[in-house]
Amino acid sequence: MRIVRTIADLRALLRPLREEGKRIGFVPTMGFLHEGHGSLIRQSAARCDVTIVSIFVNPTQFGPGEDLANYPRDLEKDQNLCLEAGASVLFLPEVSEIYPTGFQTHVEPGRLAEPLCGGFRPGHFRGVATVVAKLFNMVQPDLAFFGQKDYQQTVVTRRMARDLNMPVDVVVVPTVREADGLAMSSRNAYLDEDARRRALCISQGLLAAKAAFDAGERSTERLLEIVRKSLAEVDSIQYAELVDTQNLEPLPEQVDRAAVLCVAAYVGTTRLIDNVLFTPASPGTGSAPTLKSS
């Protein structure tokens, strides 16, 4: 596995591979990798000739008072995970490489960035879309792999790639969970024993709602009620919403199309998100569609 730190070195490394017709896979991350990232890298390695993993804690997607300064880091562990999962290249740029002095151009996502996390993290998806667009331009991947846990991020990214005519397929990979159901997240590292125990009610509520859906329940209100009841152990709920998978608009009464049930909640000072997919045509699959841009 090669490690590169500059855009020039990355381009020099990838140019001949692209000329040879190699299929390039890309997994953008902010580091402190876990098996959720491992599964993205493994999927890329299985489907592509070359897999690039970037580790870059992107300052523009953090709001004031968020955890940018304390974001967990463990480069040695990350390198081992990348190597073991099959990455070919690890891209480790400095902030000044991505945002040099004078930087002033941003990608402004539209309506898809407004609901759910967008309502609580102003500017977050502008920062995500900007850095992902820049990384896509640097790597020029054929396929890019994102985790379903950040569902809104996958939808915003797919829209951005389509709208800006980026020739990349955005592939969404199902959430990897701990043995007890907690969605894997770098931010789980912030949870102490009590918070870790209480955080479990998020996945328990979502999976209970999914079980009810699989058993035939289609009422939006009743499915939301199952989740809300389960969230008694969190300290505050930002949102629990059942929305259309494509446009992220709330489903008024019935789950009559592909939907995603999304939760954001604080356990102590840690903000956690999770979701489950409902597909009326084939209940029980829960897998995310492959999203193709043109």
Catalytic positions, please?
Answer: 37
58 scored as a contact of ligand PAF (CB under 6 A): yes
Which span (3-11, 22-30, 216-224, 281-289) binds ligand PAF, by CB under 6 A? 22-30
Are the C-beta atoms of 150 and 275 separated by less than 8 Å?
A: no
Minimum CB distance to ligand PAF, residue 211 (Å): 28
199 scored as a contact of ligand PAF (CB under 6 A): no
Between 29 and 220, name the residue whose CB sits nearer to ligand PAF: 29
Between 58 and 245, name the residue whose CB sits nearer to ligand PAF: 58
Distances in whole angstroms, Cα of residue 117 to Cα of each of 24, 37, 107, 125, 292: 30, 21, 18, 9, 23
> In this structure, how many other beta carbons lie within 10 angstroms of the beta carbon of residue 20?
9
Which span (64-72, 79-87, 125-133, 159-167) binds ligand PAF, by CB under 6 A? 125-133
Between 87 and 231, name the residue whose CB sits nearer to ligand PAF: 87
Between 153 and 275, name the residue whose CB sits nearer to ligand PAF: 153
146 token code pair:
């994102």
138 scored as a contact of ligand PAF (CB under 6 A): no
Minimum CB distance to ligand PAF, residue 165 (Å): 20
Q: How many residues bind ligand PAF (CB under 6 A)?
A: 10
What is the rounded distance in angstroms from the CA atom of residue 139 to the CA atom of residue 206? 35
Are the C-beta atoms of 65 and 41 separated by less than 8 Å?
A: no
Residue selected from 10, 26, 29, 43 as contacting ligand PAF according to rule CB under 6 A: 29
Between 120 and 214, name the residue whose CB sits nearer to ligand PAF: 120
Minimum CB distance to ligand PAF, residue 157 (Å): 7
Minimum CB distance to ligand PAF, residue 243 (Å): 19
28 scored as a contact of ligand PAF (CB under 6 A): yes
Residue selected from 39, 43, 51, 61 as contacting ligand PAF according to rule CB under 6 A: 61
184 scored as a contact of ligand PAF (CB under 6 A): no
**DSSP-based three-state secondary structure for 285:** coil
* Residue of 203, 177, 175 lying closest to 40 (CA atoms): 175
Where residue 31 falls (left for φ over 0; alpha for ψ -120 to 50; beta otherwise) is left
Rounded to 5°, the CA angle 184-189-191 comes to 100
Between 107 and 207, name the residue whose CB sits nearer to ligand PAF: 107
What is the rounded distance in angstroms from the CA atom of residue 151 to the CA atom of residue 246? 10
Residue selected from 81, 90, 128, 223 as contacting ligand PAF according to rule CB under 6 A: 128
* Residue of 172, 182, 189, 188 lying closest to 205 (CA atoms): 182
Residue selected from 10, 24, 30, 113 as contacting ligand PAF according to rule CB under 6 A: 30
What residues contact residue 283 under an 8 Å CB cut-off, 6+ apart? 213, 214
115 token code pair:
């609901």
SS3 letters for 65-99?
CCCCCCCCCCHHHHHHHHHHHCCCEEECCCHHHHC
Residues that bind ligand PAF (CB under 6 A): 28-30, 58, 61, 128, 131-132, 150, 153
